[in-house]
Amino acid sequence: MTDPDGTKTQKEVSDELARLRRRLAELEDSELKCRISEEALRKSEAKYKELVELLPQIVYEIDVQGNFTFVNCGGLAAFGYRSEDLAKGIKALDVVVPEDRERLARNLGQVMQGARMSGTDYTALRKDGFTFPIHVYSHPIVRDNSVIGIRGVCVDVSDLRRAQQKLWIKDSAIASSINAICLADLEGNLTYVNPAFLKLWEYDGIKEVLGKHHTELWHLAEKGEEVALALSTEGWWIGELVGKKKSGTLFDAHVSATMVTDAMGEPISLMGSFLDITDRKKLEEELRRSEERFHAVFQGAKDCIFIKDRSLRYTLVNPAVEKLVGLRASEIIGRTAEDIFGKETGEIIKEINLRVLQGQSIEQEQIRQVKGERLTFHDITAPLRSPNGTIVGVCTISRNVSERRNTTRVPRISVREYPSQAMRATLERARFAAARDSIILICGESGSGKDYVAQWIHNHSRRTSGPFFAINCAALPQELAESELFGHEPGAFTGARARKRGLLELAEAGTILLNEIGELPLALQSKLLTFLDTKSFVRVGGERSIHINARLIAATHRNLEEEVTAGRFLPALFYRLNVFSVNVPSLRNRIEDLPMLCEELMSAIALEMQLTEIPVIEPSVLRGLSRYLWPGNVRELRNVLERALMLWDKGRFELIIPMLAKGPQDWSHAVSFPRGRSLHQVTDEITELLCKEALHRCKGKRKEAAQILGISRNSLYRYMKRFSIEPEIGTDN
């Protein structure tokens, strides 16, 4: 109780003191608990901070100014910064690429307003410039109902993106695969098919086929058990099955089936890949039939077929070759052309084959010694190529044309057979030319037989086994001359639908005669000069240079030196051609050869006309022919003989002899005496011709014509009236 003066009693003081002690004890206990709690909290914070620091994800805090206030170690490492960089200040916008900064600033502003970012993708920018994809989660830090910052987590999704990319590639590959692909459960029910599968089986959509049992799609027959056994034991099966489309149509398919297992190796599904091989099977069947046809043609061909490898040894020959050389195929295969046809012929064949191995195709005629007999063959040799275009060998198709060549060849006349000294000298010079392989220039009048001499040189040269081609340059249209000589490629000019080989190419291993070379256009002369220098040329419209081995003989009736002076012929080409010249005499300068020429020409014409007998020319007619000057030379003589043979009725051979010579001075007239004509008639004919010729030479001046004839002017008038000779325009009266 309290004293009257207000002081507490001792008891009250003791009670208060006890109460204070209890309170102090409570406070001490509470402080201890608080310290314990604080220590526990400190440890917990340290623990969680350590955990945050160790997290592979990026944990961060940002203040209201957009500066990082905290980034865990993983985050600093990911962005390429160090802790001291954080102390200096790093802005949130600095850790993304420039194109993402506006979007990041907008999103951070929304979080500062209290929103949460559940997950946004950005491209992070490291301090060293390296970039990587991140997925960002952010939420506001609120204190006293105010947002004081942002806390969040960034996840590096590079591995995820790569995995997604790989998965996308696989999905795309399956979806875009030309192979039909499907998945099925272990019971065989379809769970997935790609577009190619729907197209192959002709279904409209995936829903139409999912859930179907695989047996509905196949005509398994006896292979069903084989496939099931292989999948259960081996885990895979590859083979061919017959598919059954929605419409019921059957087709052939190549199948690759696999058992899909989980990580523990337990089966979880079936996967199949299918390829329609119906067309391939048809092609294989067609190829088989084609091979059978080829075998039949190869075995039954009358032409000889040789196939060689790159070492030019025979690898395959047909029965025609066996028959030709008298050896079995087994005795030919593995040997070379030198072994079969001898050294000389074998070397020629080898030279051609080596060029074919460079990509050329060569067509030529060649004489070969076979079992002691000289035979002529027309050969076509082309490269054999592998499927990738590599040349792996040579194929030659050879036809025996000896009979045809024997009927068309020019007689091999010896030098001594010609009576005239002029022709013997010409052929003696031609013999020297034949023994060499250089360019020859043959000169002579038109129709004098330049082409005959060129053929004679070819027949007596080492190229006699090769072809002989002659072309008249004067007869070539200027726009087609280059194509005729050098050939052309498809589309080289209007109308060039297919490749054409020129005469130079066709003359491979033989001779080509360019007759009347003086008529060749200047542009073509330049290309010909290039060919003579290089032995190669390019077809019109082509790109590849073609090398050939052909001899060139040129012939002309012009004086090429004068043509060079006039600018109509290239000097360089003239010098290149004028290596060795042969001059062919005109017929009037070797008239003693005329009887022999008549005999040869009539034999050749009779063969062409298929006459069973040849008439005899009477000596008097031959004498008349010999008196004519023959301005058209041998060509004119042939025309006269051919016309007479056409009119011959197996009776007496009547020959219409040219009456007027074209020489500048004298002219002659040969007389024949056919049946039914009197001396008076023949005399009148000669008189008429003499009057006409005199008037022609005097250009219609009758006074001068009468003086030439040695008669009076009045006598000439009477003859003109008698024979109805019309005076020329502009003549005297």
Output the domain CATH number for residue 396. Answer: 3.30.450.20
Q: What's the pLDDT at 664? A: 44
Tell me how far apart the 2 most distant CA atoms of the chain are, in Å.
Answer: 211
In the predicted model, what is the mean pLDDT of the chain?
83
Cα 502 to Cα 524: distance, rounded to the nearest angstrom: 14
* In a shared domain, residues 390 and 414: no
Out of 405, 430, 450, pick the residue that ends a domain.
Answer: 405
Q: Is 466 helix (H, G, I), strand (E, B) or coil?
A: coil
Q: What's the pLDDT at 607? A: 84
Q: Determine, yes or no, domain membership for 312.
A: yes
Burial 595-609 (b: 16+ CB within 10 A, else e): bebbebbbeebbeee
Least trusted range by pLDDT, from 135-139, 243-247, 417-421, 465-469: 465-469
Q: Determine, yes or no, domain membership for 642.
A: no
Q: Residue 438: which of 455, 459, 457, 422 has the closest Cα?
A: 457
Q: What is the pLDDT of residues 287-307, one digit of tens each?
A: 888 888 888 888 888 899 999
How many domains are contained in the chain? 6
Residue 418's CB: how many other CB atoms inside 10 A? Answer: 19
Q: What's the pLDDT at 160? A: 79
* In a shared domain, residues 420 and 560: yes
Q: Beta strands 391-400 and 440-443: pairing type? A: unpaired
Q: What is the pLDDT of residues 628-672, one digit of tens each?
A: 888 889 999 999 888 888 888 777 777 776 654 344 445 555 454
CB-CB contact of 196 with 180 (8 Å):
yes
Residues 6+ apart with CB under 8 A from 730: 700
CB-CB contact of 352 with 341 (8 Å):
no
> Residue 473 maps to which CATH number?
3.40.50.300
Please give the residue range of the domain that contains residue 689.
676-733
* In a shared domain, residues 370 and 463: no
Q: Determine, yes or no, domain membership for 660.
A: no
Q: What's the pLDDT at 102? A: 92
Q: What average pLDDT does range 344-362 have in this prediction? A: 85
Least trusted range by pLDDT, from 170-179, 195-204, 239-248, 412-421: 412-421
Q: What's the pLDDT at 125? A: 92
- pLDDT confidence band for 412 (50 / 70 / 90): very low
Residue 552 tokens read as 């060139």
Tell me the one-letter amino acid at 384. Answer: L
- pLDDT tops 60 at residue 385: yes
Residue 526's CB: how many other CB atoms inside 10 A? Answer: 12
- pLDDT tops 80 at residue 406: no
Q: What average pLDDT does range 494-506 have in this prediction? A: 78
- pLDDT tops 50 at residue 708: yes
Cα 117 to Cα 701: distance, rounded to the nearest angstrom: 127
Phi, then psi, of 421 in degrees rounded to 5:
-65, -35
* In a shared domain, residues 424 and 564: yes
Q: Determine, yes or no, domain membership for 271.
A: yes
* In a shared domain, residues 554 and 438: yes
Q: What's the pLDDT at 606? A: 86
Q: What is the pLDDT of residues 509-548, one digit of tens each?
A: 889 999 999 998 888 899 889 988 888 888 888 888 888 8
Cα 307 to Cα 393: distance, rounded to the nearest angstrom: 7
- pLDDT tops 50 at residue 149: yes
Q: What's the pLDDT at 465? A: 74
Q: Determine, yes or no, domain membership for 655.
A: no
CB-CB contact of 261 with 186 (8 Å):
no
- pLDDT tops 80 at residue 176: no
Q: Determine, yes or no, domain membership for 28.
A: yes
Q: Determine, yes or no, domain membership for 629.
A: no
Q: What average pLDDT does range 239-263 have in this prediction? A: 88
* In a shared domain, residues 191 and 209: yes
Q: What average pLDDT does range 43-64 have in this prediction? A: 76
* In a shared domain, residues 436 and 457: yes
* In a shared domain, residues 555 and 416: yes
Q: What's the pLDDT at 123? A: 92
Out of 155, 186, 220, pick the residue that ends a domain.
Answer: 155
* In a shared domain, residues 372 and 465: no
Count CA within 13 A, CB hemisphere, residue 617: 25
* In a shared domain, residues 476 and 555: yes
Q: Which residue has the tokens 């080596």?
A: 354
Q: Determine, yes or no, domain membership for 608.
A: no
Cα 676 to Cα 630: distance, rounded to the nearest angstrom: 28
* In a shared domain, residues 352 and 428: no
Out of 350, 374, 405, pick the residue that ends a domain.
Answer: 405
The full DSSP string for 695-722 is HHHTTT-HHHHHHHHTS-HHHHHHHHHH
* In a shared domain, residues 36 and 61: no
Cα 413 to Cα 415: distance, rounded to the nearest angstrom: 7
> Residue 702 maps to which CATH number?
1.10.10.60
Task: Output the CA–CA distances (angstroms, integers) from residue 232 to 218, 226, 263, 469, 619, in the order listed.
Answer: 19, 10, 18, 75, 108
